[in-house]
A and B are shown apart, each in its own frame.
Chain A
Amino acid sequence: MSEEEITINYLVYDTEADAIARADTEGARRGYAYHRVGSGTRYHTYPQVTADSKYALVVDGYELTEDEESAITNSVTFPAPEEV
């Protein structure tokens, strides 16, 4: 039996600030504690830097605009570790 492939949806931003701002908006929409009482959970997901120095945000579960829906990508390359 083959393993089911999990698809992850990303939005990719040029700047970290833009990616964090989008994450913040989703956190506010969900009513996380930070947005209600000023401390605690703030984001649903948080962006990570990609191999080409952009910022990928996992948007599974996000409420997306039509423009964002069309901008989703399932393939992002992250920096390769050199660790042993």
Chain B
Amino acid sequence: MSSEQLADGVNPLDAELAATWDVLKGYSGRDTDLGIARRFGGAAAAYSLRDIGAMNGRVVRVRRDSDDTEEDFSANQVQSGALETFVQDGADYDITNGDFGATFSPTADGTFTPNGKDGFTLAVVSSTVYAGIKLNEDVTSGDSIYVSFNCSFDAGSPSPKIALRDTDSDFFGGGTLMSNEESVVNGFNAFTLTSTNSSASGVVLSEADDNLTYSISDFKVSRIARNGFVETLYDQSGNGRDVSQASASNQPTIVSNGGIYKTGAYPSIRYTDTSATYLVTESYSPVEQGGSGMPNFTLFAVTGIPEASGFDSIVSAGGSEGSNAIGGFKLRHLKDGSGNIDSRIDIAQAGVSPHQANAQSNNATATSVNLITSYLDSTDDELFVQQSSATSGTTTTTLIPLSGQGGENDNLKIGTDMFNGSPRASYLGQILEVILYTDSKKSELSDLTNEINNFYNI
């Protein structure tokens, strides 16, 4: 019998407890409302910007850069825009004049569908197209404006670029560039555009390629930069194993230029390798200190498309040295030259060097949101990207426990691994969710992955 069945059928207290929450807080379901982090026997630790166990409680604590004030947010507040509003403190995001417009050159060969000030959809057959929005005042040379938006490459191979231009004399025409010009990517974008000409009067996206469609949404522009950083991701398992970052320069970003990071349609958190951004528990490690070895585990990580070509650590605990002397594990992946995801789970094992005895590679096709899954038990281990399995290993050697580096080296971390107090292989890209069970969920893997995949439409 699975622990899911146990929660529902055998343990009446669980079901009744769930029903009580329904009454008090207006939930519509029974035990499934507990969220994935509190079911299937309960996760050891679980972090997400959606509600996977917080039960309408806080999921993230954010520091805004305007005055370094910090505030907690629930998943609903993240989704509703309350978090963005908090970070936008004191900045004016109503500095446009009119709605988005477009000019096709030399002739109108395609369709442009504006959505007010929020964005537009552009379908190009064979034209150069300038699409943009006017500002209520010109941007003086040397001054900057700060934009953020989501872009969806819907068809063909879009390659839009964004810049300030003079939109007064030639409405969105191909006038002289009046700022740095930046390439727009599929997904979340945030840019600082610095004026080089005091006649710069609008933000314009240019597209010179043919037979394509792209869409812009959640467009935000301000003359003041506003950014938000994650100080704490709260543990939604109920075990209180929050991950946090006390050093501002090492905090991952959740809001950039007034807009919340998104992976596909889902709010997410961006980690940067150059700043070694990461979050770490205060004292919890799933790996034994001393003792007989590392416990069985099942690990789920939801990410965007990795941006680095070298292996980055999504989640880790313990060491990462080739000597294997310090024990621990790390879940990693990279984007290869073909744009596929190569993933790896590195687990220290006695008699095996380097520290990647369970190294596996499965070259899965990247999608906007990706699920990496790994489990380990006394007889087996396996690694998946989406639901595609890598080669399955057989665990016959003794797993190495931690040897006592201590502190953050050993603790559960998101966004890096660490040796000798220094972050390494720090992540470059977006991480949406990490769920850790300290037992094997091999028999329930299908139920768990289906639940995650269904939410993220993977």
Contacts and interface: CB of A to CB of B under 8 A. Distances in A.
Answer yes or no: are A and B bound together in one complex.
Answer: yes
A79 B246 contact: no
A31 B63 CA distance: 12
Interface string B387-415: 00000000000000000000000000000
Contacts of B246: 34, 40-43, 46
B421 A84 contact: no
A40 B422 contact: no
Interface string A71-84: 00000001101111
A17 to B, nearest CB: 14
A49 B421 contact: yes
Interface in A28-59: 30-34, 40-46, 48-49, 58
B421 A48 contact: yes
A45 B251 CA distance: 10
- A34, A41, A81, A82 pick with most chain B CB within 10 angstroms: A41
A48 B407 CA distance: 13
Given A41-B251, A42-B247, A83-B322, A32 B422 contact: no
A34 B354 CA distance: 40
B422 A83 contact: no
A13 B245 CA distance: 22
B70 A82 contact: no
Interface of A: 23, 27, 30-34, 40-46, 48-49, 58, 78-79, 81-84
Contact of A79 (B232, B250, B420): B420
A33 B69 contact: yes
Contacts of A31: 67-68
Nearest to B232: A40
User: 4 closest pairs, A vs B, by CB?
Assistant: A46-B247, A42-B246, A43-B247, A33-B70
A84 B322 contact: yes
Nearest to A26: B248
- A34, A40, A42 pick with most chain B CB within 10 angstroms: A40
B356 interface: yes
Contacts of B232: 40
B250 A83 contact: no
B247 A45 contact: yes
Contacts of A45: 247-250
Interface residues of B, number: 28
Contacts of A81: 321, 419, 424
Interface string B236-247: 000000000111
A45 B245 CA distance: 11
Nearest to A27: B248
B113 interface: no
A40 B70 contact: yes
A79 B249 CA distance: 21
B181 to A, nearest CB: 15
Contact of B247 (A44, A49, A82): A44
Contact of B250 (A30, A32, A46): A46
B342 to A, nearest CB: 15
Nearest to A61: B249
Contacts of B88: none
A34 B232 CA distance: 13
9 contacts: A40-B63, A40-B70, A40-B246, A41-B246, A43-B247, A78-B422, A83-B320, A83-B322, A84-B354
Contacts of A79: 419-420, 422
A83 B321 contact: yes
Contacts of B354: 83-84
A3 to B, nearest CB: 13
B68 A41 contact: yes
A82 to B, nearest CB: 5
A82 B422 contact: no
Interface string B417-455: 001111011000000000000000000000000000000
B251 to A, nearest CB: 7
B68 A30 contact: yes
Nearest to A30: B68
Contacts of B250: 45-46
Contacts of A82: 321-323
A30 B422 CA distance: 24
Contacts of A83: 320-322, 354-355, 419, 424-425
A31 B65 CA distance: 12
A40 B72 CA distance: 11
Given A33-B231, A40-B70, A83-B321, A58 B422 contact: no
Interface string B26-62: 0000000000000000000000000000000000010
Nearest to A84: B354
A51 to B, nearest CB: 10
A40 B323 CA distance: 36
Interface in B248-263: 248-251
A34 B248 CA distance: 11
Nearest to B424: A81
Nearest to B419: A81
